[in-house]
Each structure stands twice: as structure tokens, then as C-alpha cells.
Chain A
């Protein structure tokens, strides 16, 4: 690992000022991605500002039934929070299906929003990669791209967004709260994750020194009947090939309200709005689910190695919707 300097911040403003003052400064929270990528010379901060002492680790129930998750709350703690598991099971399930127990004890929610892609060409610190080295090309386009994205891709980048919980949060219209040199901001989570386009090195609308302080999830009645379904190469401790966050309300046999988001297939956590639109008012039956999945996946751009994800995603969507509309939420 290259040499780094270190400072431990005692307040949010102190942390922001420290990173702000150094072009090569970066916040350090759980470190589960950052230390790994530092060691591999994929990222190159010269100053790490440790924010782990900041009072941002609470998970609070809001008066209207929403929740406010402090940016430094750890994945394990959020998953185990009774109000989260009760009112937003999809969040709890997505968290517990990600990483390992040790990593979940370390990784913060704010850091999870900023985690970097698992593309092997991004992580090898050598291959052409527009995300790591803008303008150098994309080795994944013609390389081993079995795990890469089929939605939201561009000619510059096809790396899959790796987060599970972000998929659940996108389905629930969460809001990312930040504090930075320009003051405080609230960013709708779907706007927080940027498509790669021709600037895949820009992943979030954050300024240098802008810190995520909390994630708010608005009260969402149908989230009580929500679920997260994840398909992967191993039974545990593996990133998704395809995952689905789903919630639905059925009235008189028809879908009255629905939320659907996909993981493992998009360059960002993928809100399946076309599928949602297709489902509203339709009978809560497999034919409707398959039709909706087909509409969303018609947007897919596949390559020979990852073309299987279309059918896998279609089946995952159908199963997830069947689960949440039958009340068989596991």
C-alpha cells in the first residue's frame, strides 16, 4: 500500500474541512472497500480522514413512520434494528444477504452508497478502464464480462453496481442527506447514483469534501410486505448475478401499488419503472409479472457472456412479485 497520512475528525465540520483542504483527501469510514482498493493502487488518496468517531450512527424512527439511518450506522446494526425489519423488511433482507458477518459489522451505510464496482479490470489497476483512468478505454467490453451489467450500460463502462441494500433503498425512494462546503443537501437516491455515460469516473453528484450524513426512507405502507430476492454463484457471501427488491399491494385481485428495483444487472441500482407502470391495475398473476419483466428487460444490452442475465432476471422478477403478492414474504 502506498503511504498515507491520517487524521481523526472530532466533528462533521472538522472532517469536511480536512478533506476539503487536501485535493488527495478522502473520508475513511468502515474501510472495507477503501483500504482494499488503496492496497491494490486502484485509488490514491494521500490523506485519510477517519470519521468513525462522529455521532452519525443512529437509526431513528421518524414520527410519520419513516426512518433516518445515520451514515455511520453499520450494515449489521441497521439489519437488526426492529423498526427496520418490521416496517422495511426488504432493507433488512438485502443487508443480510450482502457480504459476510465481519464485513457487515464494519461497513457503514454511507460507505455502502459509495462502494466501488467489482469489475476485475477496474480492480487490477492496469487494464484500460474509463472509470479508473478516464479516456483509457474499457477492457470489459471485449473481455470477461459474465458478471457485468445489461441495463444502463454505455460504450465507456458496463460495470455492475455491487450494492444490495442500495437496490432496496432505490425501490423505496430513499433520500441521501449530505453536508459539505456548500451546506446541506437532500438528494433523491435515484439521482445519487449516476449512469456511466461518457463519464463513468463520476459516480455520484458529491463535491470534494461533501459527506453523507444520513439516509432517510420515507414512510411507505407497502414496504411492510416487501422482500429481497438474490441469485448468485454461491449460496452465501457473493455479489448478485441478479437481485430483486419488491413490494406490492393487491386490491380486488389487481395490483394497486408496486415497487420494483433490480440489482446485479444495472450500472446503477435499477428502479424498474417500466415494469411498475405495466403492473399497475393488472391482475396479480404470473402472466402480468412476466409481461412487466419483459418490458423492463427489453431495455437490456447484452453480450454473449452475460446474455443469460435476461432470463434469470425475468424469472427473479416473477418470483419476487409472486412472493410479495401472496403474502409469503420470507
Chain B
């Protein structure tokens, strides 16, 4: 069956120059003027001033840029910002309570309590990944935690303390 592709409507094209992009980040709507090639990571860091998400490799290897899109952990460096229109983005800045005292999320508290970092560069990505790990139910034992956190590299090798922090939150049942 041949389709009359020439008669099919084509979607509106944006770019390659700047164009308006509406994004919802941590529950707040933002209107950006960006090129379609701008990654979600660059939009967050350079355009919205949300520098918690880190740029490590910028090629989907290290996990430092891990954020949530529609509640799933993904890599902001391999996501184009424009593809997030109509979706909800959550970053490490959106994890703590937004009340007056800005209580840390239990996973953030546990990372502090267990000293689960040295340089701290990978930490926002580790935490965004770890909260989802618990929600997904993939933190049964240390081997499972290691496997399901393998997308978050820590070059300081703070892994034992990261796992200890995750175990604590898991056992307290307060991770979600």
C-alpha cells in the first residue's frame, strides 16, 4: 500500500536558530530562547542557572548529569532540551523540600551522614539515581545496588559509602 506522503501535513519546524522553548523544571514553568541543539544539561546549567546537574563526560558515560524526566532517571547530556517540552524535569535542586527550612531529602541526608563522596562532583547524579533505584526496587543487596548504580561513575571511588547511604534509606523506608 503506497502512502501519499506528499499530502501528509508536516510538523512545524524550529531552528537551527533560537526559538522559544517552554520547559517545566522542578514544578516551575520557564520560557527559554534556545537553539534545538542545546542539551537539557546546558539548558539547566547555562540558561536556568541550575548548576547542580554536572557535566562530566558530555557523552552519556559518567552519569553526573542524571536528572528525572517524567519521573524516570535519564541523562541530561544526551537529551535535547526541546524534547522536554510537555514533560516534567526534576533536578537535584528540586529534591529538597521547598518550604522555609528546605529540608534535605532523606537520600541527601544519608549521603552527608555517610560521607558518601570526596570531591562531590558526581554526587548530584548519584543521588538522583539512588532515589529512583529505591523506587524501582533494585536495592535488594549490595550486588544489586552496584549493578543498578553502574551508570554513575565515582572517580574518587566512594562506592562503599554510597552503598551504605542507599542501604540506610532503604532500611528506613523513607526514600520515596
CB pair B36–A5 under 8 Å, yes or no, is: yes
User: Is A3 a contact partner of B75 (Cβ separation < 8 A)?
Assistant: no
- Report if B11 contacts A (CB, 8 A): yes
CB atoms of B5 and A17 under 8 A apart: yes
**Any A CB within 8 A of the CB of B28:** no
Query: Taking the complex as formed, is B164 at the interface, i.e. its CB lies under 8 A from any CB of chain A?
Result: no
Q: Are A5 and B8 in contact (CB under 8 A)?
A: no
- A2 & B79 in contact (Cβ 8 Å cutoff): no
Choose, from B44-52, B94-102, B105-113, B143-151, the stretch at the interface: B143-151
Q: How far is the CB of B31 from chain A (nearest CB, A)?
A: 17
Looking at chain A, what size class is its interface with the partner chain?
A: 35 or more
Q: Take A4-B37, A5-B15, A18-B10 as given contacts and tell me if A237 and B151 are in contact as well, using a CB distance cutoff of 8 Å.
A: yes
Judge whether A36 and B78 touch: CB under 8 Å.
yes
B128 to chain A, nearest CB (A): 9
> CB of A269 within 8 A of chain B?
no
What is the bound-complex CA distance between A21 and B136, given in angstroms? 41
Interface residue stretch chosen among B66-74, B116-124, B165-173: B66-74
CB contact under 8 A between A1 and B60, given known A18-B11, A102-B75, A236-B150: no
Residue of A nearest to B38 (CB): A1
Task: Name A104's closest neighbour in chain B (CB-CB).
Answer: B151
Chain A residues positioned under 8 Å from B9 (CB to CB): 14, 17
Give the docked Cα–Cα distance between A146 and B52 (Å): 38
B:38-69 near A, CB below 8 Å: 39, 58-60, 63, 66
Please measure, in the bound complex, the distance between the C-alpha atom of A285 and the C-alpha atom of B8, giving whole angstroms.
Answer: 59
Residues on the B chain within 8 Å of A103, using CB: 60, 75, 78, 151
Give residues in A with beta carbon < 8 Å to B.
Answer: 1-11, 13-18, 20-21, 28, 31-32, 35-36, 38-40, 46-50, 52, 76, 99-103, 105-106, 179, 181-184, 209, 235-237
A105 touching B73 by the CB < 8 A rule?
A: yes
Q: Chain B nearest CB: distance from A97 CB in Å?
A: 9
Could you tell me if A182 and B79 are in contact, using CB atoms closer than 8 angstroms?
no
Cβ distance B140 to chain A, nearest Cβ, rounded Å: 14
Taking CB atoms, residues of chain B closer than 8 Å to A1 are: 37
Chain B: number of interface residues, binned into ranges: 35 or more
Question: Are B151 and A184 touching (Cβ within 8 A)?
Answer: no
- Cα A183 to Cα B73 in complex, Å, equals 36
In the complex the two chains form, what is the Cα distance from A329 to B141 in whole Å? 21
Inter-chain contacts of A100 with B (CB < 8 A): 63, 150-152
Besides A3-B37, A5-B13, A14-B8, 7 new A-B residue pairs in contact (Cβ under 8 A), listed by A number: A5-B16, A32-B78, A38-B37, A39-B58, A49-B11, A100-B151, A101-B73
The residue from B1, B5, B59, B82 contacting A6, defined by CB atoms under 8 A apart: B82
Contact A101 B37 (CB under 8 A): no
Report the 5 A-B pairs with minimum CB-CB distance, sorted nearest first: A100-B151, A3-B16, A6-B36, A236-B150, A17-B8
Chain A residue with the shortest CB-CB distance to B79: A31
Contacting residue for B3 out of A8, A16, A21, A35, CB 8 A = A16
- Cα(A10)–Cα(B44), bound, Å: 26
Q: Nearest chain B CB to A80's CB is how many angstroms away?
A: 9
User: Does A101 contact B12, Cβ atoms closer than 8 Å?
Assistant: no
